[in-house]
Structure 1
């Protein structure tokens, strides 16, 4: 089954009665969903004990995808990333077998440059062999050289909506990671059932689909709709 998730585990009041009544917000979220995307790691470090506590709050099969720190992707722009990346891996180590993909979301200002990205991806792969997905947001990534580089380092493209670089028809196989930010108003707009169904049809058994339209509380409801569409009839 694909992992259908939201960015963070905040539960809007209007949906609260569909989740377990007791436990932390994460425990309640995990009573319905089997994965979540941790975005807060982009902004700040968390203690390893925090990740350990989150692991203890969810079922055995639950997975966490984790967003790379902005120091790596934005402040250093993928240059000289060895030290902060190793620190990040140390922080999240308690996730252990519950760790899903690492999300490398690149800034819109970062153009494709193999001389910068190849060393960065090599550093990441030398330190970690787990799944990594890359969300590029500069149009220059729409080239064969970028795809070849990702293939070399066994990293998968993110299908984002809106899609600044790689639209759905640009994928020659089902995407491993879909991030739905909300259209037309990013982070706010809700998706219709028909739109959700169209993304649902793109999922493979090992895909992730993350709803990031959390600002309006739409993410939880959209994700629950997708789960219902995936259920056997």
Structure 2
């Protein structure tokens, strides 16, 4: 990585979910543990913490989470909406310091900081670059950004993200053609699949997961790749993530996309 501490080697593929709860229908597919997070970590190597977007967690909570998972497990922590939505990245230093005071307690298990911007936030290079510089001064974690305004999908915005070492999220469904492909820093990639056709609610069909497995594996050849299933509203994320794991193992053995 040009910036941050993405210690994973090229070809590494991490699969996880937005949160670590899982439906009882899949309970038998996880190992034993004293908490849902411990059990979740027996099958997945990363998780996205979305609750940090809505509320401040105590530092000791992050410490407890870090102690609950294996050494090679990684957390992606979502930056609070007070920073991304209410302040639109401008003049957010006190909020950023308060957030990182807790999140950094994950230690080496903090892998990524995720910034998701609202659809109303247009690209402002001055504000965005200042924010990412401030974030980089305070944390060595890798940074992923999911913008949702058309102005972010330009060569200018992409160059700024690349210069700051920020990976632009590859999202599904994609609001714009480029939104479905990784951008910004290209020595690693971060994918977020929200459910299709209904975001957060729909399960992905087998054909969709096969396509993702193919694209995702190809992307991982250029650097480590992380993918999150975010269709959690009806509990489909876990089943889709488990199936994606199996498909990735198949393509790895066959060294080609599945038929």
Partner of 1:198: 211
Partner of 2:52: 41
Map 1:58-207; keep pairs closer than 5 Å: 58-165=69-176, 166-168=178-180, 176-203=189-216, 204=220, 206-207=224-225
Q: Is residue 250 of structure 2 the alignment partner of residue 226 of structure 1?
A: no
Q: Is residue 24 of structure 2 the alignment partner of residue 13 of structure 1?
A: yes
Runs of 4+ in 1 over 3 A off after TM superposition: 167-175
Shift of 1:22: 3.8
Asked if structure 2 preserves the Cα contact closer than 8 Å seen for 1:197 and 1:229, the reply is yes
Query: Residues of 1 paired with 2:182 and 2:80: CA distance?
Result: 28
CA RMSD between the two structures: 1.7
5+ unaligned residues in a row in structure 2: which ranges? 1-11, 254-259
Instruction: State the TM-score, normalized to the length of structure 2.
Output: 0.85
Query: Residues of 2 paired with 1:60 and 1:170: CA distance?
Result: 27
Query: Residues of 2 paired with 1:31 and 1:170: CA distance?
Result: 28
Shift of 1:167: 3.5
Shift of 1:174: 8.1
Could you give the per-residue CA deviations for residues 2-48 of structure 1, whole angstroms, max 9, x where no partner exists?
Answer: 11000000110111111124420001111111110000000001111
SS at 1:156's partner residue?
Answer: strand
Partner of 2:14: 3
Query: Residues of 2 paired with 1:138 and 1:96: CA distance?
Result: 33
Query: Residues of 1 paired with 2:71 and 2:182: CA distance?
Result: 35
Equivalenced residue count is 233
SS at 1:3's partner residue?
Answer: strand
Asked if structure 2 preserves the Cα contact closer than 8 Å seen for 1:190 and 1:213, the reply is yes
Shift of 1:96: 0.8
